[in-house]
Structures are given as C-alpha cells and as structure tokens.
Amino acid sequence: DSGVTQTPKHLITATGQRVTLRCSPRSGDLSVYWYQQSLDQGLQFLIQYYNGEERAKGNILERFSAQQFPDLHSELNLSSLELGDSALYFCASSGHLARDEQFFGPGTRLTVL
C-alpha cells in the first residue's frame, strides 16, 4: 500500500459527459501529480500541484482541469469526454526534494462508451 488513495477505482460513462477523479496524497506529501496511461502505453504527465498551487503542466487537454485543495487532496475533472479519453489515470504524490520518489495510487480506470 503506497498510502495514496484514488476514487473511484472504475468509472464507466458516455461520450460528452463530465467526471471527477479524486486523489488523497500520502500523509506529509505536498506534491501531487496526475498521469494518463492508455492501454499498454507509457505514462503521459498531465499536471502537478504543490501545496495548492499549479507547478507544472504537461500534455493536458483544455477539456481537463485539476485543482489541489487546502487539505492537499486533488481532483482531476474531465469534461466533454471522448472515446479516446478511456485510460488509466494515476495520481502520485511526493515530497519536495529531488531525491523523493513518487508514490503512486492504484489508478482510476475510465471507460468512455
């Protein structure tokens, strides 16, 4: 158990819909990262938050947005969903030092029908 929790585990929805994925980081970690992993593909970095503020942005679509709340949990909002958005979405947390590893949650599997 990495200490990072993600809900829900699975999500099935239709095209055009909007969903929210939730992540609670490991206790004490201020950084939260979101990744998208399509079937048998690598990790696509979406966005990073540090202590409530956006720190880095990757290949995140305009239809996607995220935020980190004062209690440090984070939410990833996906709207106007398309079939191609079906993927495993990971949240990871880490400390602020370069040596700090990322602890990954179990992921949310999103299926868009």
Q: Which stretches of the chain bind other proteins, using CB under 8 A?
A: 2, 33, 37, 41-43, 45, 48, 55-56, 58, 88, 90, 92, 94, 96-102, 104, 106-107
Nearer to other proteins, 72 or 91 (CB): 91
Q: CB of 76: closest distance to other proteins in angstroms?
A: 16
Neighbouring residues of 104: CB distance < 8 A, sequence distance ≥ 6: 2, 4, 90, 91, 92
Looking at the Cβ atoms of 45 and 73, the one nearer to other proteins is 45
